[in-house]
């Protein structure tokens, strides 16, 4: 059966449907009653599922994948990994966060090893962590093996990042192309469709293709999808072969390409794709299920693996951008967003700023504040940052910010235009509205605002970048460069396409 919705992220993928059911706040509180026991139970469940899978594979004569599943089960059994998670849980961390912290610690150590075979095990450790977190969040009913097509009423960015297996596609009833889940999907190269409620059981085979989803595809439909996937892979190889070429327009204007990153894999992919660094490092995604403000230790554990690949490069770390479609349980009902929300808890913000400085010590570090609307907010944050040598920047994402851009530019060290929220606010749309997409930045009112910010940066001698999804939209990029935007920050998966666009069409 074919369904048609709204495309959120391009591409074609084939996988088995897995309905994502979010753990409620009540169930998270229940889990935290005995978090150390919950951690052990989660690792036990993961190991048992993997061994059952290995047994089934071996019975089918598939010895090699069975060996892999058994090896993964041994990782779930590892006493050091379990002890580290239990220790964090007993120290007061929520069970899912305790698992994340322990997993990232061990994965980072493995990734740093000179032996490539051992370093590759970091991915396996992280996959075990994702499976354990899925159990802790109540996803124990699913026994679907990947690749997965995630299906939910309103998928979040963390659903993609924390999926227990490879994600081939995603389908969300609610949301639109500018929702954060769409941004992350594009960064990961995961095709995503909005506006559909599929009547299909867990485990059913499905194809996600542009704005369409095909459930129980025929052999011919599967063949066509795989042909399209191979063609896309071949194009990626061709574009990757041009990474050493400079991003310079035919008119001689040099464009700096940075990357928007959320995970260690994002950062690694960005460096591999030739990014000069990160124009946006998101920090809130690991904490969307937490029940209190993250501590300095929490931030360090989440940030270090992301910033490690960026040593020696620009790393623009954004402070927590909670709000909208990114609200953890403890902030449910909160109306403040972005830096205004963080400033309402100055102790928590100061803890994050300390962690950013420490974790980013080896990078060309910059700190960026989301949804700034006044110079006073920048001054307050600079006092909490307590590091005159660390550049502090402001994201311009709303009409009040555009109106106050000269004062903000004078107070900040650099400016960054967040085209997603800016387009939404200027056009009077919720950023999850399906009518809003990266191309919306081409609307005259949005282009006028972008031009005003670029001009203010020039007047005050402050660099300006654009890090929204418009920076990768082929219909918008020529307009941005024409307005004077010469620093673009895009998803790692879009770097090669944007570089080619700059070189060949501008």
Number of H helices, E strands in the chain: 21, 16
Tell me, yes or no, whether 227 lies in a domain: no
CA distance 30 to 356: 32
Q: What is the pLDDT of residue 28?
A: 40
Q: What is the pLDDT of residue 64?
A: 64
Tell me, yes or no, whether 232 lies in a domain: no
Question: Is 409:460 a contact under the CB 8 Å cutoff?
Answer: yes
Q: What distance lies between CA 354 and its chain's CA centroid?
A: 22
Q: What is the pLDDT of residue 117?
A: 57
At 333 the three-state DSSP class reads: coil
E strands, 205-251, in order: 205-209, 212-215
**CATH number of the domain residue 143 falls in:** 1.10.274.10
Q: At what angle do helices 346-359 and 375-385 cross, to 10 degrees?
A: 60
Q: What is the pLDDT of residue 175?
A: 84
- The tens digit of pLDDT for each residue in 295-319 reads 998 899 889 889 999 999 999 999 9
Q: What is the pLDDT of residue 31?
A: 46
Tell me, yes or no, whether 222 lies in a domain: no
The residue out of 200, 215, 230 marking a domain boundary is 215
Are 43 and 107 contained in the same domain?
yes
Are 158 and 276 contained in the same domain?
no
Are 191 and 260 contained in the same domain?
no
Instruction: For residue 249, count other CB atoms closer than 10 A to its CB.
Output: 17
CA distance 446 to 450: 6
Q: What is the pLDDT of residue 27?
A: 39
**CATH number of the domain residue 304 falls in:** 3.20.20.60
Are 187 and 250 contained in the same domain?
no
Q: What is the pLDDT of residue 23?
A: 42
Are 305 and 424 contained in the same domain?
yes
Are 206 and 261 contained in the same domain?
no
The residue out of 215, 248, 273 marking a domain boundary is 215
Provide the domain count of the chain. 2
Tell me, yes or no, whether 224 lies in a domain: no
Pull the structure tokens for residue 95. Answer: 């069970």
Tell me, yes or no, whether 376 lies in a domain: yes
Are 272 and 326 contained in the same domain?
yes
CA distance 239 to 494: 10
The residue out of 199, 215, 231 marking a domain boundary is 215
Tell me, yes or no, whether 234 lies in a domain: no
Structural domain boundaries, residue 35: 2-215
Q: What is the pLDDT of residue 139?
A: 60
Q: Please indicate, yes or no, whether the overall pTM of this predicted structure exceeds 0.85.
A: no
Are 343 and 429 contained in the same domain?
yes
Are 280 and 321 contained in the same domain?
yes
Tallying the residues shown for the chain, one arrives at 506
CA distance 322 to 287: 9
Q: What is the pLDDT of residue 29?
A: 41
Are 294 and 385 contained in the same domain?
yes
pLDDT tens, residue order, the chain (506 aa): 899 999 999 999 999 998 886 543 333 444 445 777 889 988 998 888 788 877 876 776 766 667 777 888 899 999 999 999 999 888 888 888 889 888 888 887 776 666 655 665 776 788 788 788 878 876 644 567 778 999 998 888 767 876 767 899 999 998 888 787 888 888 788 999 999 989 898 889 999 998 999 999 999 999 999 999 999 989 989 998 888 889 999 889 999 999 999 888 889 989 999 999 999 999 998 888 777 899 998 899 889 889 999 999 999 999 999 987 788 888 988 889 999 999 999 999 999 999 999 999 999 999 999 999 999 999 999 999 999 999 999 999 999 999 999 999 999 999 999 999 999 999 999 877 888 888 999 999 999 999 999 999 999 999 999 998 899 999 999 999 999 999 999 999 899 999 999 998 77
Tell me, yes or no, whether 221 lies in a domain: no
Question: In sequence order, what DSSP letters do the residues of 81-102 get, joined into one string?
Answer: HHHHHHHHHHTT--HHHHHHHH
Tell me, yes or no, whether 369 lies in a domain: yes
Are 288 and 195 contained in the same domain?
no
Q: What is the pLDDT of residue 20?
A: 82
Are 262 and 378 contained in the same domain?
yes
Of the candidates 106, 100, 132, 102, the one whose C-alpha atom is nearest the C-alpha of residue 119 is 106
């Amino acid at each position: 059966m074919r369904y048609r919705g709204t495309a959120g992220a391009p591409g074609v993928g084939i996988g088995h449907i897995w309905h994502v059911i979010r753990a409620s706040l009540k169930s998270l509180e229940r889990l935290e009653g005995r978090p150390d026991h919950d951690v052990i139970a989660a690792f036990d469940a993961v190991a048992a599922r993997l061994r059952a899978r290995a047994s089934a594979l071996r019975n089918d004569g598939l010895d090699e994948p069975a060996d892999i599943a058994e090896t993964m089960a041994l990782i779930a059994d590892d006493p050091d990994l379990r002890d580290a998670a239990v220790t964090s849980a007993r120290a007061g961390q929520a069970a899912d966060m305790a698992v994340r912290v322990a997993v990232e610690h061990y994965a980072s150590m493995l990734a740093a090893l000179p032996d490539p075979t051992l370093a590759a095990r970091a991915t396996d450790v992280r996959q075990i962590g994702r499976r354990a977190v899925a159990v802790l969040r109540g996803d124990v009913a699913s026994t679907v093996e990947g690749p997965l097509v995630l299906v939910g009423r309103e998928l979040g960015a963390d659903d993609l990042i924390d999926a227990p297996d490879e994600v081939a596609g995603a389908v969300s009833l609610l949301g639109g192309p500018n929702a954060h889940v769409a941004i992350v999907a594009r960064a990961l190269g995961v095709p995503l469709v909005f506006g559909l409620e599929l009547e299909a059981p867990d485990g059913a085979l499905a194809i996600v293709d542009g704005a369409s989803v095909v459930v129980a595809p025929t052999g011919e439909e599967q063949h066509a999808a795989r042909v399209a996937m191979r063609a896309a892979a071949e194009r990626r190889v061709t574009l990757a072969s041009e990474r050493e070429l400079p991003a310079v327009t035919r008119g001689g204007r040099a464009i700096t390409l940075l990357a928007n990153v959320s995970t260690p894999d994002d950062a690694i992919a960005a460096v591999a794709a030739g990014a000069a660094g990160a124009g946006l490092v998101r920090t809130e995604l690991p904490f969307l299920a937490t029940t209190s403000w993250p501590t300095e230790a929490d931030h360090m554990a989440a940030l270090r693996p992301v910033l490690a690949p960026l040593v020696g490069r620009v790393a623009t770390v954004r402070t927590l951008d909670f709000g909208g479609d990114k609200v953890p349980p403890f902030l449910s009902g909160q109306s403040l967003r972005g830096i205004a929300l963080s400033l309402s808890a100055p102790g928590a913000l100061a803890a994050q700023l300390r962690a950013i400085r420490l974790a980013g010590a080896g990078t060309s570090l910059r700190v960026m504040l989301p949804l700034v609307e006044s110079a006073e907010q920048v001054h307050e944050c600079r006092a909490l940052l307590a590091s005159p040598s660390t550049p502090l920047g402001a994201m311009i994402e709303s009409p009040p910010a555009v109106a106050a851009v000269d004062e903000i530019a004078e107070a900040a060290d650099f400016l960054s235009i967040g085209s997603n929220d800016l387009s939404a606010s200027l056009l009077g749309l919720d950023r999850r509205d399906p009518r809003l997409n990266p191309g919306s930045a081409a609307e005259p009112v949005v282009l006028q605002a972008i031009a005003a910010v670029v001009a203010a940066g020039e007047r005050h001698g402050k660099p300006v970048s654009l890090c929204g999804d418009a920076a990768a939209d082929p219909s918008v990029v020529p307009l941005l460069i024409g307005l004077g935007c010469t620093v673009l920050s895009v998803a790692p998966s879009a770097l090669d396409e944007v570089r080619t666009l700059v070189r060949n069409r501008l």
